[in-house]
Amino acid sequence: MANIQLFQTLKGKLLPHATTVNEAGAPAYQPSPQHRLAQYAATGCLNATFYADAETQLATVLQLCKEVDAYFVAQTAVYCRERGYMKDMPALLAAVLAGQGAPVFPRAFKRIVNNGKMLRNFVQILRSGAVGRKSLGTRPKKLVQDWLNNASEKELLSAAVGNAPSLADVVKMVHPKPSEPWREAFFAWLIGKPHGAQALPPLVKAFEAYKADRTQPLPDVPFQMLTALELNAAAWAQIARQGGWHMVRMNLNTFSRHGVYELPGMAEEIAAKLADAELIRKARVFPYQLMAAYMAANDEVPMVIRDALQDALEIALVNVPEIEGKVVVCPDVSGSMASPATGYRSGGTSAVRCIDVAALVAAAMLRKNRDAVVLPFEVDVVRCDLNQRDTVMTNARKLASIGGGGTNCSAPLAMLNKRKEKADLVVFVSDNESWIDARKQGATATMREWEIFKQRNPAAKLVCIDVTPYATTQAAERDDVLNIGGFSDDVFKIVAAFAAGQLSAAHWVGEIEAISV
């Protein structure tokens, strides 16, 4: 008799054979070039990860840009900037379009380069030679000039913070020809050339006045312009009051060092700003950014502010869907998930790990879907007792505290099959680097277990959210399988649409291709 294990029959669709290997060397599926580019763009921050260094990521993205048409590159860049709130990747893709001389480049530039930080990112990448040229070129230079000549005083001052290149470097490169006297004076002031002091715009005048006389009101300029000056606690408190929502979130420890919380009422005032629902909406905050702020806050940050961060996280998760039917969420807690969510970066590695993101997604979906089951996995499914009534932060910390072990993406499905469980939606949050369950031939173990699961649950759907820029999958894309990259609010919306049968046949790539540039 033939080997039953080797030749066992599975009912339903013929399973696709694995087409490649993942970063761990195990069988996997390779999506289309469009899907892979979108995956890298939505999850990659051009920093080293557990399996791949920054140079490899860059080389892969540049190669993928050659394999797809320029319009899709533009669509991907706009998607990642406007819906994923990414910075480096959209700037890189804009630079690629500039290097190609793509007709869509000017339209994409205006959508992608929407602040001074993005302008400097774009110029830095284009001038580096990474995309095949070191000069800006006529069209990119004209677009940079237009940005400089149309930005407000506040936008220009914000852009003036930072180096490599500085805004002054950019101005020297492109030589903008402003039509307003204040803008001409501002550029001269910025690059250290003679200028008429009376022609300077109001905020710059106030800044210069404050430098000369500290009894003057604190100017409403980016706080980095003031940090070289000796400021007392009251001045730092005013900086906190004037600062934008993200600025306050990112400088909680700085305020502590400068005695801001010792001033009566200041801790409560900062907490109120952090938990303001309208400010959170306008800031387009990532839930993981709030987790990062909570994790980075030192012991000197008052509890009222820590509580406000938790409140803000609950508010930021308003877009997490309530999905009809039974939901199973499977966060990957294996060793490779200990990699920083935005990669290793010299002097600035994020405290938030991939496992924290997976835990956050799982805890958020548990909050919105009362009957959801959470199955954290590594080599096997790991028990973790969660309370649906606990805060998202509390449950996320419980999940993230597991950690370690090899990766076996098929383990949760195998458990569900062993118990003959039923469900309508299964969501994985992983780096997809499964190797414990590797097979020498045929379909991946995840795909085989999913097919068995489908025999009991023919209408069920599988979503694989990938939090890393590796671009291989353990489940082949088809009508009932969605592979998606990133961890923005948009991911939750796409999951909900897929669960409700509202996505096109192209799934996630179709969402990107629907963007008009």
Name the DSSP letter for residue 54. H
CB contact at 8 A, 283 and 245 = yes
Question: Read out DSSP for 223-261?
Answer: GGGTTTS---HHHHHHHHHHS-HHHHHHTHHHHHHTTGG
| Residue 11: predicted pLDDT | 47
3-state secondary structure of 377: strand
Buried b (16+ CB within 10 A) or exposed e, 333-357: bbbbbebbbbbbeeeebbebbbbbb
CB contact at 8 A, 318 and 368 = no
Buried b (16+ CB within 10 A) or exposed e, 434-462: bbbbbeeeebbbbbbbbbbbbeebeebbb
| Residue 7: predicted pLDDT | 47
3-state secondary structure of 147: helix
CA distance to 43, 123, 232, 293, per residue, from 238 (Å): 36, 33, 10, 21
| Residue 350: predicted pLDDT | 66
107-134 pLDDT, tens digit each: 999 999 999 999 999 999 999 998 988 8
3-state secondary structure of 203: helix
Residue type, 501: G
Record the pTM.
0.88
Helix 138-150 and helix 167-174, axial crossing angle in degrees, nearest 10: 120
Sorted by where each begins, the domain ranges of the chain are 69-213, 222-319, 321-513
Neighbours of 472 (CB within 10 A): 25
Question: For 2-87, where are the alpha helices, taking DSSP H only?
Answer: 33-43, 54-67, 70-82
| Residue 246: predicted pLDDT | 92
- What are the counts of helices (DSSP H) followed by strands (DSSP E) for the chain? 24, 7
- Return d(Cα 71, Cα 228) in angstroms, integer: 45
Residue type, 188: A
The whole-number mean pLDDT for each consecutive block of 10 residues of the chain, a chain of 517 residues, reads 49 77 92 92 72 79 95 96 89 96 97 96 93 90 97 95 92 94 96 92 94 90 87 93 93 95 97 95 82 88 95 84 91 89 65 85 87 94 88 86 90 97 95 90 94 96 90 92 84 88 87 94
- Return d(Cα 408, Cα 414) in angstroms, integer: 10
| Residue 84: predicted pLDDT | 85
Q: Which CATH number fits domain 321-513: 3.40.50.410, 3.80.10.10, 3.40.50.1980, 3.10.20.30?
A: 3.40.50.410
Q: Which two tokens stand for residue 515?
A: 């963007």
**Which residue has 């869509």 as its token pair?**
104
- Measured in degrees and rounded to the nearest 5, phi and psi for residue 108 equal -65, -40
Helix 138-150 and helix 105-112, axial crossing angle in degrees, nearest 10: 40
Q: Which two tokens stand for residue 359?
A: 């835990």
CB contact at 8 A, 511 and 484 = no
Q: What is the maximal distance between C-alpha atoms in the chain? A: 96
439-486 pLDDT, tens digit each: 888 999 999 999 999 999 999 999 999 988 888 999 999 999 999 988
